[in-house]
Structure 1
Amino acid sequence: MTTSFDLISVFAVLIAAQTLGQLSQNWANFWDDRVTWQDREIAQRLAIFILIPIGVLLHEIGHSLATWEVGGTVTTFQWRFYWGFMIPSGNFTSAESWWISFSGNLVSIILGLLPIAFIPYVRKRIVGEVLYFFVCAELVYALVGYPILSFGLQGGDWVKIYDFSVQPYASITLVCHVILLWGLWQLYHSPKAIYWRLAVNSHTLTTWEKLKSDIAQAPNDLESNLELAYLLLQNNEVHEAKKIAQQVYRIAPENQRVRVFRLAMDYNQRAYGKAIQSGRQLLNTELSVENKLRIYRILSFSLHKIGNLKEALDYADLGLADDPNNYSLRCHRGVIYQALGQYQSAKADFDVALENAPDRDSQLQLQKWLKRYQQDG
């Protein structure tokens, strides 16, 4: 098992070095006021492959400090970048052993919680992005991943922490653990958190605020609710989109646009078979051009996900026959062609998509794909 963890650390070091190199090459763009998808990708890697290893070191230091606090000594201290361990020595009571195990994890949890209070007030958005990704990664691992790993391996800190023969510490920890997870879940889906995530794009944030204002004035307005649900879905705010969807389904369950939105929700929830079946049924009804295009996209995406590339390509073709410059379908058909090894056709679709990209961010991403496909071809 140690060898496996060391191998993971080697890969993590390589990715960290690559990330720092990429940051160096894009230094000016990374620190300007505009946050692109490439900036966010670097920010995510900085959080996971630079800050998390520092957190690992502090975790082990936390164990060591607790050992010294209770009169023990540290015979072995190892920090191996992405993992580590220390071996305490001493005549410890059960409560002291519990504290030594808990202390490092307490450090990890505090490290994850501390930036939360500052993220909304950080003026440099990209710094906020780095902190946000770090908070998510640190807390998910500290509160969920590491406990599961400990019990799965039948060893590690959390097996000792949840030794219920050590009372009342284990029971108090369990209660606090559950409350903390619940609180973080609520915080993640709170309006303030959604506001911050959407604020990475000023146009998206403005649209979200306007739609919420419109709905506050007319709660049963189908158009506003549906637009808000789509906006949230497109920005990966699925939990909030589901809440708006319930309102949409209540207002007009048989409305054509509502039925198409159900397809989008099915696809998003990976119910690809259901989306395909319902989408094909809807194509037999009278549809507007806009709704037909949405269905073609969802069918093509869903069929692609289950590996049916031929039919996925057929539906992409049908959609592009109605709207040859459709950005989303051009991109998706390009991906299908690439999966089929038809690199020239993929490049042709990406070229057209590039001309019709809705923003500079999308153009940059497509240019990166085109460069890769040229190398593959």
Structure 2
Amino acid sequence: MGCFRIDLTSPLELLFYGLSLLYAFRAVQLAQRIRLEWSGFKQPPLTQQKMAWVEQGAFLLAIPPSVFVHELFHAIPIWLFGGRVVNCGYGFYWGYVQPDRFFPVAQEWIISLGGTLGSLLFAAILFGLLYRNQSQSLRYFGFRSLRTLLFYSLIYYPLFTAFTFIGDWRTIYDFGTTPLLSGGTAVVHIAILLLFWRADRRGWFEMVGHKDRSGAATFEQLAADWRLNPQNLEVALKYVDALRVGGAPQQAKRVLTQILAQNPNMAEGYLQLAILQTSGKRNVPKTAVNNLEKALHLGLDAPRHRAIAHQLLSQYYGDTGKAQIALQHLDDAIAAASTVSDEFRNPLHKAQLYHLRSLAHQRQQQHERARQDAEQALALAQTAGDEKVVAAYQRELEVLHSRNGRA
């Protein structure tokens, strides 16, 4: 039937195939790594490394079979309506099916919608096969693949069609030709997106990763203690922090929101919320700034918590061009870090604060102060024994010496 022909005269098709080959090469590499570590990959605990592999696999490994099913579910109604597939393409991460004729409007709509229904069916079956698997890693793959496939089927692909006019959704949402079918689809589409958004916000697609079995056991005990006595604020905050560090930020936000609703004057809670709001972002958002200022106003008991709050505020004000305010917050952060007890003292954190203040002084053209802070940062890093950080701070200090004519 002349299927799987590559049109060498189509730049767009060649581009899609080229990108797909790059992704396919990465997929083969990932599959090979997982195959070599298969026994350990299936065994508990779910580590950060396994989580990273699953995150990659949710796209690189789950999308290709989904695309194949998508195109198959275009072809099936074409055959059922008496047509033939005269040309098709499959590039692992994209594809198309070309029938031999134009069909009546309703049939064209069904053919177009069939692909997305196939993708959703594949996502549901894959999740159904894995969500009760004994292996945490495979269960996590089921959850993350479901999230990825829902995103690409119901958000990315419709937007791609809207901006490029290429794809099924221009037919699915042709309200002028199929008003009832398109309108009904829009209602269902919006309802599914709302459920997806709500599930994602509640952390339904998340699982918690651990360094080793001991860490997993400690977390399970912490979670049990929290469920047994959720009013214990110390345990609750430790549980929130464990969720955040373990890679479940939405679950952490949900629990923390419940805690703050019952304890609106809990300074440490607002600090944790600000950290969650900043996590994964290049800049500190304004919502996090409000929570940081509220935490400081209510009073953070732990010096290391005050240091973190002032550090994040200095980043925000530095990014918004208010250098003097940023410097003041760095001064406060270093002062707080200097009073941290030996049990919680972290030379690298204090070194980072001096390094950040050195950069702030450089922006203010205060080179001598910048050099002094850079030397202090280097000395603290050397005390911690972190060779990479020492090398980075050494290079920074050399640049400052050069600017001051001391090279």
- Give the TM-score taking structure 2 as reference length: 0.68
- Alignment match of 1:183 (pick from 166, 175, 195): 195
In the TM superposition, 1:275-314 aligns within 5 A as 275=288, 282=296, 287-295=301-309, 298-299=312-313
Q: Aligned residue for 1:213?
A: 228
1: distance between equivalents of 2:114 and 2:383?
Answer: 55
In the TM superposition, 1:131-142 aligns within 5 A as 131-142=142-153
Q: Aligned residue for 1:158?
A: 169
Q: Are residues 227 and 302 of structure 1, via their aligned partners in 2, closer, same or farther at CA, if it must alter by over 3 Å? A: farther
2: distance between equivalents of 1:351 and 1:48?
Answer: 42
Q: Are residues 328 and 188 of structure 1, via their aligned partners in 2, closer, same or farther at CA, if it must alter by over 3 Å? A: farther
Q: Are residues 94 and 15 of structure 1, via their aligned partners in 2, closer, same or farther at CA, if it must alter by over 3 Å? A: same
Q: Are residues 330 and 235 of structure 1, via their aligned partners in 2, closer, same or farther at CA, if it must alter by over 3 Å? A: farther
Q: Are residues 328 and 275 of structure 1, via their aligned partners in 2, closer, same or farther at CA, if it must alter by over 3 Å? A: farther
2: distance between equivalents of 1:350 and 1:68?
Answer: 71
The residue identity in structure 2 corresponding to 1:178 is I
2: distance between equivalents of 1:69 and 1:43?
Answer: 38
2: distance between equivalents of 1:334 and 1:42?
Answer: 35
C-alpha distance after superposition, 1:51-110 (max 9, x if no partner):
211211121111111211111111111101211111112241001111111111110011
| Deviation larger for 163-172 or 326-335 | 326-335
Q: Are residues 6 and 255 of structure 1, via their aligned partners in 2, closer, same or farther at CA, if it must alter by over 3 Å? A: same
1: distance between equivalents of 2:136 and 2:249?
Answer: 23
The residue identity in structure 2 corresponding to 1:147 is P
- Structure 1 stretches lacking a partner, 5+ long: 355-366
Q: 1:150 offset after TM fit, Å?
A: 0.7
Q: Are residues 321 and 182 of structure 1, via their aligned partners in 2, closer, same or farther at CA, if it must alter by over 3 Å? A: same
The residue identity in structure 1 corresponding to 2:71 is E
Asked whether 1:197 is paired with 2:217, we answer: no
C-alpha distance after superposition, 1:150-174 (max 9, x if no partner):
1111231011011122243222211
- Alignment match of 1:11 (pick from 10, 22, 37): 22
The residue identity in structure 2 corresponding to 1:93 is P
C-alpha distance after superposition, 1:10-64 (max 9, x if no partner):
3202211221332244344323333221122222223311221121112111111
Asked whether 1:174 is paired with 2:186, we answer: yes
C-alpha distance after superposition, 1:252-294 (max 9, x if no partner):
5445434534543553485446656875893997843243243
The residue identity in structure 2 corresponding to 1:184 is F
Asked whether 1:93 is paired with 2:107, we answer: no
Q: Aligned residue for 1:357?
A: none
| Deviation larger for 160-169 or 113-122 | 113-122
- Bigger share in helix: 1
C-alpha distance after superposition, 1:312-337 (max 9, x if no partner):
9988866764558539838978998x
The answer on whether the counterparts of 1:76 and 1:86 sit within 8 Å (CA) in structure 2 is yes
| Deviation larger for 108-117 or 300-309 | 300-309
SS at match of 2:88: strand
Q: 1:297 offset after TM fit, Å?
A: 5.4
- Structure 2 stretches lacking a partner, 5+ long: 1-11, 211-215, 360-373, 393-407
SS at match of 2:92: coil
| Deviation larger for 310-319 or 246-255 | 310-319
Query: Superposition RMSD on alpha carbons, in Å?
Result: 4.4
2: distance between equivalents of 1:350 and 1:59?
Answer: 56
The answer on whether the counterparts of 1:275 and 1:302 sit within 8 Å (CA) in structure 2 is no
Count of aligned positions? 351
Q: Are residues 162 and 203 of structure 1, via their aligned partners in 2, closer, same or farther at CA, if it must alter by over 3 Å? A: farther
Q: Are residues 3 and 333 of structure 1, via their aligned partners in 2, closer, same or farther at CA, if it must alter by over 3 Å? A: farther
The residue identity in structure 1 corresponding to 2:183 is S
Q: Are residues 167 and 29 of structure 1, via their aligned partners in 2, closer, same or farther at CA, if it must alter by over 3 Å? A: same
2: distance between equivalents of 1:46 and 1:260?
Answer: 34
Q: Are residues 134 and 284 of structure 1, via their aligned partners in 2, closer, same or farther at CA, if it must alter by over 3 Å? A: closer
Q: Aligned residue for 2:399?
A: none
Asked whether 1:126 is paired with 2:137, we answer: yes
The answer on whether the counterparts of 1:263 and 1:278 sit within 8 Å (CA) in structure 2 is yes
SS at match of 1:35: coil
1: distance between equivalents of 2:37 and 2:315?
Answer: 33
